[in-house]
Amino acid sequence: MSGLFRLSTHALVAALAAVVLVVASTSLSAQESSSKGRARRTPWGHPNLQGVWTSDSVMGVPFEAPRTEPLTAEEVAYQEKLKTLEKRLDPGGSNVVWSERDLNRKIKRPTSLVVDPPNGRVPVTAEVRAIITDFNRDVRRYGIGINSHEDLDLWDRCITKGYPTVMMPLGYSNMYQIFQTPEYVAIFYEVIHDVRIIPIDGRPHISPKVRQWWGDSRGRWEGDTLVVEMTNFSDKTFGVQQPVGGFRGGGKDMTIVERIRLNEDNVLEYRATVTDPRAFTQPWTMAVPLVRDDEHTVLEYACHEGNYGLQNILNAALGQSKK
């Protein structure tokens, strides 16, 4: 699907949601307002989460806390190989131009995005640990040892960044736009142009036989907190079939329970608890504070436009195989 078509589709979703917002805004004056004049509740009484949000304030915060126990011999070998490869591929280091924005607004930066277990580490099973430290499998992200486009992950192929991976700040485009109606919450993620439609009207999940890139979301309000349960993931998105083990090895049986709440400082508190008995020895939770960023435009993440990366990676791999 071309980038232009996807952009038009998501622009239509945003436009329809905006129409609902404009119609609803006629009665905003009767709603509870924040100190900046923004209504803290929608005309129909739900907490007002609408607007553009960013995770830039925690850019650079490690996903997991540093390990306290020593690395195994296999892990040491894996890290040394990876450091050598990255130094060879990027001798000058990362381009710092992406980090020019103010990263420390309004929040206290945590030590890691994983907040439970208390050690800040994802409790992966032995099977998954072997997958994520398999150097020959992991380096496929660099186009090494691949035979076809299917050996690359879904981000390289401009299909999806995956969930909840897209909630972790990258070097740029860490923006999320939320729209609400009485029956739905829609969240637009600019990276790979995903739009998630979350019914909040009490309907059940779809059949377990139906598996989707982003699973199936169903939401409900618990007081002022939006609680969303995600099920029905696909191994095509996350599981061990993926070149680098997917999202920490989570697969089709993974479930995610999100809790989203607007606090008194106008920061959107986002927490997600992830469960998958095959991949994780216990449930674990990540937390990402989102700061309002309505003053910036959500610029297009044009993954397919002029995307020569996949073609060049495959050409280079083909050239290597002929040597």
Average pLDDT per 10 consecutive residues for the chain, totaling 323 residues: 40 46 39 59 96 91 87 82 75 52 65 94 87 73 70 77 82 89 94 90 96 93 97 72 52 92 94 92 95 81 71 72 58
For residue 284, give both structure tokens. 């674990």
| 157 vs 93: CA distance, rounded Å | 24
Distances (CA, A) of 158 to 50, 85, 118, 214, 263: 27, 24, 35, 14, 34
Q: Which residues contact 195 (CB under 8 A, 6 or more apart)?
A: 10, 13, 186, 187, 188, 189
Cite the beta strand spans of the chain per DSSP E. Answer: 51-54, 114-116, 175-180, 184-189, 194-199, 216-222, 225-231, 255-262, 267-275, 284-292
Amino acid 35: pLDDT? 42
pLDDT given for residue 36 in this prediction? 52
Per-residue pLDDT at 7 = 40
**Residue 202 placed within a domain:** yes
How far lies 80's CA from each of 73, 85, 93, 128, in Å? Answer: 11, 9, 17, 20
pLDDT at position 13 is: 47
Domain range for 129: 3-94+112-321
Question: Could you tell me which residues come within 8 angstroms of residue 220 by beta carbon, excluding any fewer than 6 positions away?
Answer: 200, 202, 226, 227
> What's the confidence (pLDDT) of residue 229?
98
Does a structural domain hold residue 107?
A: no
CA-wise closest residue to 272 among 162, 180, 172: 162
Joined tokens for residue 165: 């991976």
Q: In angstroms, rounded to a whole number, what is the distance separating the alpha carbons of residues 273 and 293?
A: 25
In a domain, 51, yes or no: yes
CA distance 298 to 99: 17
**pTM for the predicted model, two decimal places:** 0.78
- What pLDDT shows up at residue 31? 46
Does residue 74 belong to any structural domain of this protein?
A: yes
Residue 48 Cα to chain centre, angstroms: 22
How far apart CA 244 and CA 307 sit, in angstroms, is 21
61 is a domain residue: yes
Q: Is residue 105 part of a domain?
A: no
Q: In this structure, are residues 176 and 53 in contact, taking their beta carbons and an 8 Å threshold?
A: yes
Confirm whether 280 is domain-assigned: yes
Taking a C-beta distance cutoff of 8 angstroms, is the pair 47, 41 a contact?
Answer: yes
Burial of 239 (0-12, 13-18, 19+ CB in 10 A): buried
CA angle at 184 for the pair 181 and 185, rounded to the nearest 5°: 90
Per-residue model confidence (pLDDT) at position 74: 81
Residue 102 domain flag:
no
Number of domains in the chain: 1
Structural contact between residues 235 and 252, judged by C-beta atoms closer than 8 angstroms: yes
Determine the pLDDT at residue 299. Answer: 76
Residue reference for tokens 């099977």: 127
